[in-house]
Chains A and B, each alone.
Chain A
Amino acid sequence: MEHLLSYIVFIPLLGAILVLLTPKAYQHLYRVLAIGSTGLTLLLTLFAIKAFDGGLIPQISGEANLQMVEKVEWFSLKLGTLGTMSVDYFMGADGLNISMLLLAAIVLFIGAIACWNVKQKQKAYFSLYLLLSTSVLGCFVALDFFLFYLFFEFMLLPMYFLIGIWGGPRREYAAIKFFLYTLAGSILILIVMIGLYNSVYDPVKTAEVAGLSLTDYSVADIQSMVSEGEIEPDALVKSFNMLNMADSANYIPGSLLDKYGPVATIFGQPARWIAFLAILIGFAIKLPAFPFHTWLPDAHVEAPTPISVVLAGILLKVGGYGLIRTAYAIFPDAAFHYAWLIGFIGMFSIIYGAMNALAQKDLKKLIAFSSVSHMGFVLLGLASMTSEGVSGAIYQMFSHGLISSMLFLVAGVIYDRTHDRMIENYGGLAHQLPKYTVFVGIAFFASLGLPGFSGFVAELFVFLGAFKSASVIGAIPAWMAIVSTLGLVLAAGYYLWTFQKMFLGKFWVKDKKWTSELKDLTIREYLMLVPLVILIIAFGVYPAFLLDLINSGVESFINHLTASI
């Protein structure tokens, strides 16, 4: 199917427009539209997965073997003597993003089902939800930095309103905090983006402008002509193509971020290092990693359940994916230089998040801090710069997307009934809500990394990579892996403690009135939880399905990294 990715990305937008056009008298249709359009997106994504050939080895620094490519020129501007600036509508799938696309489609669909009970201002709610869906999906498949940035920034606005209008008591504070934090991050990314596009040219388009036929000259010829200065600067086409940016041969000689030229410095540090740090912080805020995580607990606690699901399930992954696609792929040398720091932040986030989770009284806050801890594994895996570590990082993002969605859904179940999430206010719920307890148990055990669930596979790979790193590539020392294992123990601690406190023992709730409210799961809740359970177990016992999709991509990614250190 042609334009498959465009359909996947823009069907929710179409849904949003339909919601806006449907008069208020038919407002019961809004949620049908939301579920319908995200469902269609999911269906098309499954098509894409089926069509995706995991055996093709993508070239991370170029378009070879990129699949489902869509590339149309969006606009180009002549900048006089500075050449041309060219922006493409450029999307494609490879091993690095196909799994994220699948995750996003699944979580958005389940999130849409979770929206069923929203009663107030439905039109605004569902159109914002669908807008958010489009921007998240677009973020994962966009391969032009300008397009990526458009989607990346556009996530903030719907999220701000979704938290700020439909959220809990301190929603306004949480919403603006979320907005300001992530905007600060994206400004750092914007700074690097401006730097990158001014430093990188597109050899193919440059050849066109310079009047050289690609049949006579290969791309390598053109690259060497540029580096020899045989092509005039005003003929250079500067591009936002992320894949071009990853190829160090595409840098304009003498530009600030050029790897081979004389090392340009900013504040006494090499420019590439500074750029890498800026982009690292930008995505670390999104991820979130210590010390940029403080917006997350607030946002999670105040956000309504479906929005928490989307936030934890997908939005955090944009941070991880962004690190892989931009920071690592574009600045592998700097990534290696700062591997120790990144590994340390990862390790510290794992421990720090888990310790904080231990101290929480609010169920949602506990889950939020466990997210910080689990996202630490992503950083640790990436920092190891081994194929196990990076596979583990991607697997962890995928698995955490499913598990955290489920965790927030089960937290939402109890909140829907009693409007209270304090762990200490419940006891022995297993007697009253046996089926619910089973699902909570599965979610908790999956999250603490029990074998048989997807989280185990992910963390295993991350640890393998982190241990091996010292001997293979020397990116991070083995003790970081050893200390990080402590995170698993702590996770077992806070989950088991919470489970015991809330579900085991004699039935007790703080307010007697709640007893009648506490009914077991409804059909709609089964509809959301059962598929997640199946997926979490399936990816736990049969990891090959996902690994086959991502392996060739990761392998190529690691080769790209090691070749350019």
Chain B
Amino acid sequence: MIGAVLQKADGLAEQLQSLTEGVGYLWPEITLVAGLIMVLLFDLIFSNKKEVGLAAISISVLAFLLVAELVFFVPNMQSKDLFTGLITVSSGAALFKIGFTLTAIMALIMAVQSKKYFNEYFSSSEWLISLFGLLLGAFLMTASSNLLMIYISVEVVSISSYLLTGLGKGLKKSEAALKYLLYGAAASAVMLYGMSWLYGLTGSLDINTDTFIVGISSAQPMTLNIALFMVLVGILFKLGAFPLHIWSPDVYEATPTPTVTVFSIVPKLAAVFVLFRLVSSTQSTDFDWTLWLGILAIGGMTIGNFSALWQRNAKRMLAYSSIAHAAFMLTGILLLNRTGIEATVFYGFVYLLMNLTAFYLIQAFENETGTSDYESLKGLGKSMPYISVLLLIVMISLTGLPPVAGFNAKLYLFSAVYDQYSSTGEKILLWVFIFGLLNTVVSLFYYIRIPYLLFFKPDNQTIEGQARFNWNMIWGTLLVLPLFLLFFRSDWFVDLLNSINFVF
């Protein structure tokens, strides 16, 4: 196995040189590790009143990282294999990292803004270390082009997620963490087993190499199908997609909102990226990606949407909604073409913005009422009108109605599906198209329920002392504005996507 990894580089000197050269490309990951160590040291050195210091360090490290990522972002950069093919850096991955960093910063800001979480999270370093760990894992997921690297980075994300879920006390939390851990362990075991089959079939772990691609296209179809299904299990688990979604509602409900925000975005998009890679290197095989992902997508959007109808808690509802959204993203991947990938990335980023905003605003309510149950939202439109209107806009966007970006995201995705259908005539595409759009009607019913509770129900509670202006309004507005921008000028972002190199 090691021979396979190292066979690219000839002499030791060359190997060393390629290693040192590679390290330079890993500066985002190195920054994260440095931040993690700083947090850890700060926690060890100071004994009390650490909150402000820890918050300042973690936010400034991530802010620095975000700025650096933006400055050094080159859309049309050539993909580059590093560390003898373990890692591939690409501009697509860099774009995703920007999204992840942004999400993590918002999560930190959310935690800082809430008194409860501020004391809980920043008094010691555990939460921050787990968060940085999760981010590091997600970064590596977007960079992995080797089955082992994929496995390791997925595990880094998973272990950090278990820790984040289990932090703190509470029966619900322990239950959710245990569920998550058990499901996750099983899923990754299956994935690892599947990867070992793939290695057995091809003799290579590096999914970009010719050895792998030649090996896989001459593999025995049945064996290959089983192997890829097993790998898919692990990825679907991270994606929170049907049928491996069962853990997510409990975890979402039990976990504090800043953490859920990260859960609902970072691992999902990272899994999407891994799926891009896996699909692109195995699409010419007997495995019918279009059919299987199509079935998963139809199942996911239907199950997600119909389950969301019955929820009585905003966070649980968003958990099911994110299952449906994961299914929509699969829709873009199953097209196996560049238009599909671009539509997925567009959808992914709109989804990132929408979920970030939705959780942010829900926490604004949670800070006042202490819970995210529907019951507690009743009539709050009167005491907190501005935040309520912002939340309404996000819900409209999640449904996919104009004039917000959720509409464009769906439009591009389904245009791509339609186009592929009209040129290939594959039945499954037509079904995905019809199911996807009709599901919008179902989803309206539960998304509109939140504004319904806020505005239609008489207020059984009044929130005192709401300032005319507060930080929630400013951050909320800043988060909602891009949703409008991406509707009215979606071409700006699509032009950027056009120039990005998604070839893996």
Contacts and interface: CB of A to CB of B under 8 A. Distances in A.
Interface of A: 74-80, 82, 85, 149-150, 153-154, 156-157, 160-161, 164-165, 171-172, 175-176, 179-180, 183-184, 187, 190-191, 194-195, 197-199, 255-256, 264, 266
B402 A150 contact: yes
Interface stretch (B287-295, B367-375, B490-498): B490-498
Contacts of A179: 444, 448
Contacts of B312: none
B448 A176 contact: yes
A211 B477 CA distance: 43
A183 B444 contact: yes
A149 B402 contact: yes
Interface string B478-504: 000000000011110011001000000
B452 interface: yes
A5 to B, nearest CB: 19
B339 A79 contact: yes
B15 interface: no
Interface string B432-450: 0110011011001100100
Nearest to B402: A150
B430 A266 contact: yes
Interface residues of B, number: 36
Contact of A157 (B401, B407, B418, B421): B401
A154 B338 contact: no
B229 to A, nearest CB: 30
Contacts, number: 86
B498 A80 contact: yes
A198 B414 CA distance: 11
Interface string B408-427: 00011011001101100000
A188 to B, nearest CB: 8
Contacts of A264: 422
A164 B403 contact: no
A76 B494 CA distance: 9
A154 B403 contact: yes
Contacts of B414: 194
B192 interface: no
B403 A187 contact: no
Given A82-B339, A190-B437, A154 B402 contact: yes
18 contacts: A75-B488, A76-B491, A77-B412, A78-B494, A78-B495, A85-B415, A154-B402, A157-B401, A161-B455, A164-B452, A164-B456, A172-B452, A176-B448, A179-B448, A184-B438, A191-B433, A198-B415, A256-B422
Contacts of B422: 195, 198-199, 255-256, 264
A77 B490 contact: yes
B434 A191 contact: yes
Q: Report whether over half of chain A's contact residues are helix, strand or loop; otherwise say mixed.
A: helix
Contacts of A199: 422
Contacts of B455: 161, 164-165
A75 B405 CA distance: 14
Interface in B331-355: 338-339, 342
Contacts of B488: 74-75
Contacts of A76: 491
A153 B437 contact: no
A172 B498 CA distance: 45
A75 B489 contact: yes
Contact of B415 (A150, A153, A194, A266): A194
Given A154-B402, A157-B401, A82 B452 contact: no
Of residues A77, A160, A266, which shows the largest number of chain B Cβ atoms within 10 Å of its Cβ? A77
Nearest to A151: B402
Contacts of B301: none
A154 B407 CA distance: 12
Interface in B305-361: 338-339, 342
Contacts of A198: 415, 418-419, 422
A78 B441 contact: no
B374 to A, nearest CB: 14
